[in-house]
């Protein structure tokens, strides 16, 4: 069965520091890949997605992610963290032949230290 | 455009009671999803509709959960009777087309259920 692993349930960075949230998936065929963000008491919002083409994907709020097929990874980065980035981040994949459903990671809570 | 609407936002009930959640997807979206999100976990798909037909309900506990999407627009999710382990956030999402793996799902704010 397909699975998505997010390393670290909590990640803490200082304001202005690099943000790196890790996501690995298990699939022999590269799926479609998504990052969603969930702010407190709000629904999930798409941050960015990889479908085809360029492996470096840019999203909203200065985030980007790189699809690395050889590493089965789709890590999320932002050069400089802002206090408003504090939220929970979910990686999800849509494998082939799955009724196009999303398989979700457990989420990583990003904490920003002033 | 208006987003996905859900109500109520919060609900507290006692075990063995029943509860219903309502979702109004984005206008024109063919596919509607109900997810259960337990604290500390990613969303778990309960049921997926295409228009008013069920595509997948394999993870829906059918002995207590039911869902419908009348006329292919609004949807309701019901739990009867509720158990303590049903305490979670219930998320509704919609997407424009069915059968497109790269489709973005748009989420509502969720209904937070606490079963005592």
Q: Using CA coordinates, name the residue in chain B closest to A31.
A: B101
Residue-wise pLDDT tens digits, A70-86: 999 999 999 999 999 99
DSSP-assigned beta bridge partners for residue A90: A36
Residue A29 clears pLDDT 80, i.e. is over it: no
Closest-CA distance of chain B to residue A80, Å: 26
- Taking residue B31's Cβ as centre, other Cβ atoms within 10 Å add up to 22
Separation CA B94–CA B99 (nearest Å): 13
Separation CA A111–CA A106 (nearest Å): 16
Separation CA A99–CA B108 (nearest Å): 21
A64 and A57 Cβ atoms separated by less than 8 Å: yes
- Closest partner residue to B101 (CB to CB) among A32, A36, A44 is A32
Extract the tokens encoding A110.
């990003």
Greater pLDDT, A98 or B54: B54
- DSSP labels, B51-87: TTEEEE-TTS-TTTEEEE-GGGS-EEEEESS--GGG-
Separation CA A95–CA B7 (nearest Å): 31
Residue-wise pLDDT tens digits, A65-74: 999 989 999 9
Q: Using CA coordinates, name the residue in chain B closest to A89.
A: B42
In B, which residues are within 8 Å of A44 by CB distance? 43, 91, 93, 105, 107
Could you tell me which residues come within 8 angstroms of residue A58 by beta carbon, excluding any fewer than 6 positions away?
A48, A64
pLDDT at A27: 75
A35 and A108 Cβ atoms separated by less than 8 Å: no
Mean pLDDT lowest among A47-51, A98-102, B57-61, B75-79: A98-102
pLDDT at B23: 97
């Amino acid at each position: 069965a397909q699975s998505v692993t997010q390393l670290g349930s909590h990640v803490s960075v200082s304001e202005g520091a690099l943000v790196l949230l890790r996501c690995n998936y298990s699939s022999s065929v590269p799926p479609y890949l998504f990052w969603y963000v969930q702010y407190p008491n709000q629904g999930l919002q798409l941050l960015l997605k990889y479908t085809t083409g360029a492996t470096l994907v840019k999203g909203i709020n200065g985030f980007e992610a790189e699809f690395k097929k050889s590493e089965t990874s789709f890590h999320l980065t932002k050069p400089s963290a802002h206090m408003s980035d504090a939220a929970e981040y979910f990686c999800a994949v849509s494998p082939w032949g799955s009724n196009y459903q999303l398989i979700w990671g457990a989420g990583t809570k990003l904490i920003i230290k002033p | 455009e208006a987003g996905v609407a859900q109500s109520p936002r919060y609900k507290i009930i006692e075990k063995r009671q029943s509860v219903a959640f309502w979702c109004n997807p984005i206008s024109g979206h063919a596919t509607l999803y109900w997810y259960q999100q337990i604290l500390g976990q990613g969303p778990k798909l309960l049921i997926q509709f295409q228009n008013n037909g069920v595509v997948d309900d394999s993870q829906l506990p059918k002995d207590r959960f039911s869902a419908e999407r009348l006329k292919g627009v609004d949807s309701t999710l019901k739990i009867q009777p509720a158990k303590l382990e049903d305490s979670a956030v219930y998320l509704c999402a919609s997407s424009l087309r069915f059968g497109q793996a790269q489709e973005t799902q748009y989420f509502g704010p969720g209904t937070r259920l606490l079963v005592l």
